[in-house]
Structure 1
Amino acid sequence: MSNNRRPAYLSIAIIAAVIIVMTAAVIMWFKPDRTSMALAQPASNVLGDEAEGSLSAALAAGQMLPTTATQSQSLFVTGLERLPRSLKGTQIDGEIIIDEKKQLVVTEGLRRLFDYFLSALGEEDETVIFARVESYIRHHTPEPAASQAVAIFGKYVAYLKALPEIEKRYGNLQLQATKSGELDLSAVTQQKQDVANLRQQYFDKSTITAFFGAGDGYDDYSIEMVRINQNTQMSDVQKQAARQDYVSRLPDSTTKTNIMQQANLGELITRTEQMKARGATPEALYNMRRELVGAPAAERLAQVDQEDASFDQRFTQYETQKNRLLSQGVDAAQAQIQINQLEQQLFDDAERKRLDGYAALQQQKVVSAP
């Protein structure tokens, strides 16, 4: 199922080091429901995610007490009655899959379903959320799958509540990375192992793979990219070769496909900046992009280039006429009226919202220019 209020995912350990250490490389992974540039690529996680981190913190602050089926049914029938404000008007994210024997098939979508309802923590009492989830599961799922899903939800909640203890032991890795300029990968790896050990206390192997497998694959990739980048014994060429070798050895999967697309995006950004700095023609840019990301994306990027060039041209015209008005000593109120009219003539509603930020960016470029 799709969702327009899906919990966002973000790094809890490596992202600061990535910003500091990797100035030219992009190592964030992409999720299928996000877009980047004009490529419609998926968006990123590095070591853990916000759904896991923020929910665990919220749950640790109180005790979510499992309800009985009778108690759940006294509060809800479908689990969708009286939704909290943050969930109203949204589509339920996640899935409940069963096999031909009505046994539960655990998927990553089941975890997304749990996270969808748990995202209302703070708006609803913990026991209410537990009752809501149990009612939803039992209303939409036959036995024995329903009871299996409810049991896993209870374990998932307990797991999330245990996570903060691990985070406390390792402290703020982002702050440590910021101070040293490099990430302590041994600490990150040990923390990751401790989280893996914690998961084994609550879930069987198949559930761990379904719930966390994809994220772990991205984590391992991101850690390895940082490890390669922090290797002072390797040249840039050797580092690039090591990155490509690591990706080539990954098993074929959606994770590998997304990582390869992201690697192409990183190279695309770098090569685009280099070619534009050399004054490359639109045709040359198109050919390079087509090679990296395919013709449809290359065509969209070419369209973006045209739109950016048009905006730049109109912005230059706008700045020139605005400065002329301000230099003529016209009454300030009258000058502002004319400037507003000029903005409406040259830009649409969305573009006018960009003007202040774009002007500041252009000024920053002038100040920082050698």
Structure 2
Amino acid sequence: MSYNRRSPFLPVVIIAVIIAITVAVILWFKPNNSSVNASQSLSATDNNDAESRSINMANPSNDAGISPNQNNIQFATGLENLPRSLQGTDVDGEIIIDENKQLVVTEGLRRLFDYFLSALGEEEEAIIYARVESYIRSHTPEPAASQAVTIFDQYIAYLKSIPDIENRYGNLQLQATEKGELDLNVVAQQKQDVAKLRQRHFAKETITAFFGAEDEYDDYSIEMVRINQNQQLSEAQKEAAKQDYISRMPDNSIKANIAKQANLNELMSRTEQMQAKGATAEELYNMRRELVGAPAAARLAQVDQEDADFEQRFNQYQVQKQRLLSQNTDKTQAQTQINQIEHQWFNEAERKRLAGYAALQQQKAADTN
């Protein structure tokens, strides 16, 4: 099955009024893509084969479940005979302990769980549980090892409960108002229910470590939509409100990433505007240096030069191609000569771009006309 690790949370797709914001930053009620897929797979396993091979993750030693030992599953480190999707990869995540060998819960511990859970569909629950427990105990002293295993039990129970909330609220992607705007009251209620679910399964410090960063992203995303949907604000007022919200965010990596994305959007917009006005390479470099720094500006200038070189060769290629097709009655021979030109003028990566680039140029010409 497909199981991607660490992606943003709750994609919200609504109509054109806010699609640019929602596609970019609204990622709702999915701890991450991997966690959501895991919760769906775990739920399906419970329903389809509960008696024969499900694990009572909230209490693995419970007689209702199948412990690793009952299934005769034994690992030394948890890394033996990895499923195909994990072969050749490095274990993601971390296990941190303090000077007293107590577990320090971090977001990296959750990534570690998700790394092994990504094999759901290739391996049964019991095998994955045995892998995780063996990995933890082979890399971690007590009491931190048992503390980490306990949190893994809690995490699995949490993932199994997530589909209930998702089913209760249905597809948020389709829940929009008559104006085509996202119903933020529904979003807030689902967020509240997820928060209550987390409180039932985890200690406060675990909730903060596992979900704090994405909650901050969620809050930012929701506020951006709220501002964008406020019909009482002008575009300038909306932009000012967004900047004010960002300025009040804690100074951390999340704020830095948001600022970087804002700079990237500004960079793309200003580059298009300046190029349309015939800006020189020096003018573009100075603008980019101001937004993203000198090293990035230099790399972008190099990309501009490479693009210009490619476009020049492409235009010459198009002229030659049309000449060969119009003058040669033998189309097969003409295509052979065209192929020879392609191999002479373009490398392999550039040749793959030719058809798409030609279509793009045609579209631009049609738009201009």
Provide the residue aligned with 1:56 in structure 2.
39
What whole-Å deviation, never above 9, does each CA across 1:56-90 have from its counterpart, x for those lacking one?
11111013413657558852111000100010000
Provide the residue aligned with 2:272 in structure 1.
273
Provide the residue aligned with 1:7 in structure 2.
5
What whole-Å deviation, never above 9, does each CA across 1:263-294 have from its counterpart, x for those lacking one?
11121111111111222111111111111111
What whole-Å deviation, never above 9, does each CA across 1:82-103 have from its counterpart, x for those lacking one?
1000100001100000111111
Contact 1:104-1:144 within 8 A present in 2 as well: yes
Q: Quick one: distance in 1 between partners of 2:262 and 2:71? A: 47
Shift, 1:310, TM fit: 1.4
Q: Quick one: distance in 2 between partners of 1:215 and 1:60? A: 23
Give the alignment of 1:150-189 within 5 angstroms: 150-177=149-176, 181-189=180-188
Question: What is the RMSD of the two structures over their aligned residues, measured on CA atoms?
Answer: 2.3
Q: Quick one: distance in 2 between partners of 1:176 and 1:353? A: 40
Q: Quick one: distance in 1 between partners of 2:134 and 2:171? A: 38
Q: Quick one: distance in 1 between partners of 2:268 and 2:196? A: 38
Q: Which moved more, 1:242-251 or 1:168-177?
A: 168-177
1:20 to 16, 21, 26: 16
Question: Cα 1:75–1:178, aligned 2, differ >3 Å: closer, same or farther?
Answer: farther
Structure of higher CA gyration radius: 2
Q: Quick one: distance in 2 between partners of 1:360 and 1:181? A: 33
Q: Secondary structure at the match of 2:16?
A: helix
Q: Quick one: distance in 1 between partners of 2:16 and 2:228? A: 11
Q: Quick one: distance in 2 between partners of 1:174 and 1:56? A: 19
**1:145 is aligned to 2:128:** no
Provide the residue aligned with 1:217 in structure 2.
216
Aligned residue identity for 2:24: M
Aligned residue identity for 2:315: T
Question: Cα 1:258–1:241, aligned 2, differ >3 Å: closer, same or farther?
Answer: same
**1:293 is aligned to 2:292:** yes
> Where does structure 1 lack aligned partners over 5 or more consecutive residues?
30-43
Shift, 1:365, TM fit: 2.3
Contact 1:177-1:184 within 8 A present in 2 as well: yes
Contact 2:289-2:297 within 8 A present in 1 as well: yes
Contact 1:137-1:150 within 8 A present in 2 as well: yes
Q: Secondary structure at the match of 1:89?
A: coil
Matched residues, percent identical? 65
Higher RCO structure, 1 or 2 (CA under 8 Å, sep 6+)? 1
Normalising by structure 1, report the TM-score.
0.88
Provide the residue aligned with 1:109 in structure 2.
108
Aligned residue identity for 1:313: Q
Q: Secondary structure at the match of 1:62?
A: helix
Q: Quick one: distance in 2 between partners of 1:83 and 1:257? A: 37
Q: Secondary structure at the match of 1:20?
A: coil
> Where does structure 2 lack aligned partners over 5 or more consecutive residues?
47-53, 61-65
Q: Quick one: distance in 1 between partners of 2:311 and 2:241? A: 39
Contact 2:154-2:202 within 8 A present in 1 as well: yes
Q: Quick one: distance in 2 between partners of 1:47 and 1:122? A: 22
**1:342 is aligned to 2:325:** no
Contact 2:18-2:181 within 8 A present in 1 as well: no
Q: Which moved more, 1:243-252 or 1:262-271?
A: 262-271
Aligned residue identity for 1:62: T
Q: Quick one: distance in 2 between partners of 1:108 and 1:193? A: 21
Q: Quick one: distance in 2 between partners of 1:26 and 1:172? A: 15
Question: Cα 1:266–1:25, aligned 2, differ >3 Å: closer, same or farther?
Answer: farther
Q: Quick one: distance in 2 between partners of 1:357 and 1:209? A: 46
Contact 2:274-2:284 within 8 A present in 1 as well: yes
Q: Which moved more, 1:70-79 or 1:97-106?
A: 70-79
What whole-Å deviation, never above 9, does each CA across 1:328-358 have from its counterpart, x for those lacking one?
2331221111111111111111111111222
Question: Cα 1:170–1:13, aligned 2, differ >3 Å: closer, same or farther?
Answer: farther
Normalising by structure 2, report the TM-score.
0.88
What whole-Å deviation, never above 9, does each CA across 1:88-122 have from its counterpart, x for those lacking one?
00011000001111111110000000000000011
Q: Quick one: distance in 2 between partners of 1:283 and 1:109? A: 43
Provide the residue aligned with 2:228 in structure 1.
229
Matched residue count: 350
Contact 1:46-1:222 within 8 A present in 2 as well: no
Provide the residue aligned with 2:193 in structure 1.
194
Q: Secondary structure at the match of 1:110?
A: helix
Shift, 1:363, TM fit: 2.2
Contact 1:26-1:263 within 8 A present in 2 as well: no
Q: Which moved more, 1:171-180 or 1:205-214?
A: 171-180
Aligned residue identity for 2:235: D
What whole-Å deviation, never above 9, does each CA across 1:15-73 have from its counterpart, x for those lacking one?
x23x73347769836xxxxxxxxxxxxxx956532122211111110134136575588
Contact 1:25-1:266 within 8 A present in 2 as well: no
Shift, 1:157, TM fit: 0.8
Aligned residue identity for 1:59: L
**1:312 is aligned to 2:311:** yes
Question: Cα 1:180–1:87, aligned 2, differ >3 Å: closer, same or farther?
Answer: farther
